Amino acid sequence: EVQLLVPPSSHLQTLLQTNDNLSVSVTYQSDSLNSADFDSLTANVQIRLDLFGKYGIYGRMNWMDNDAPPQVLTQTLTDLVGGVDYNWRWLRAGVEYEDYDSNFSQYQALRLYQNFDFRLDDRSSLSLDFSETFYHYPGNGDQTQYQLLTRYSVQLWSTVACYVQGGCSEQEVLGTEQFQGSAQAGLSWSRGKLSVRTGYEYNTQSTTSTSWTEEREKNRLFAYLKRTF
């Protein structure tokens, strides 16, 4: 796999400014894949304590190890997560801390989240989800990410429902900022064992660095037909 490094080197920046369709020639050698027998062991543990019906304290652990020989590239990891949250009627908010230690990657992350779920009436609902995440990669700098998701749905008739949803995400890493946005609207119909879902989706992505900018847009129409037997 060949990837464009972000941010690109000063030499590559000069080439990209003169030709957006830069071709890349690669000379390489490859070794045959190693074959080996080994055993893997995984463990997942989670615990939660609820207090007074509103407050929660929780923790999770994901652990993976194996006895593979050094020449076989396999993942080992210890992932620890601890957090607290608060629930009240239509609100859920919390904060959690993660320590991710793997032979592939290591980071520490602080996450904050706020979820709002409103039941507007017997036929419609509205939800808003916010999250803010701050990553620290030892020796490789920091990364921030902000996300917003929202959804509105209404039951028009007994067999027809309509929904509108959208969201956006913004992240910054090593001087490069990326913004992503998405919106979708659709209708769903179901009767007996037959269901149909159709709609429209729009996606946009903008990436900005110190010397270059990339814009992408995508429009999609979709329709799904499902029959249960």
Q: What is the pLDDT of residues 60-98, one digit of tens each?
A: 999 999 998 887 888 999 999 999 999 999 999 999 999
* CA atoms of 109 and 98, how far apart (whole Å): 5
Task: State the pTM of this model.
Answer: 0.76
* CA atoms of 17 and 102, how far apart (whole Å): 38
H helix or E strand, kind and range, residue 86: strand 77-88
Burial 157-194, CB ≥16 within 10 A → b, else e? eeeebebebbbebebebeeeebbbbbebebebeeeeee
pLDDT band of 203, cuts 50, 70, 90: very high
Q: What backbone torsions phi and psi does residue 95 show, to the nearest 5 degrees?
A: -145, 140
Q: What is the pLDDT of residues 14-56, one digit of tens each?
A: 666 655 566 677 788 877 666 778 899 999 999 999 999 999 9
* CA atoms of 150 and 127, how far apart (whole Å): 5
Q: What is the pLDDT of residues 127-141, one digit of tens each?
A: 999 999 999 999 888
Tell me the pLDDT of the chain averaged across its residues.
90
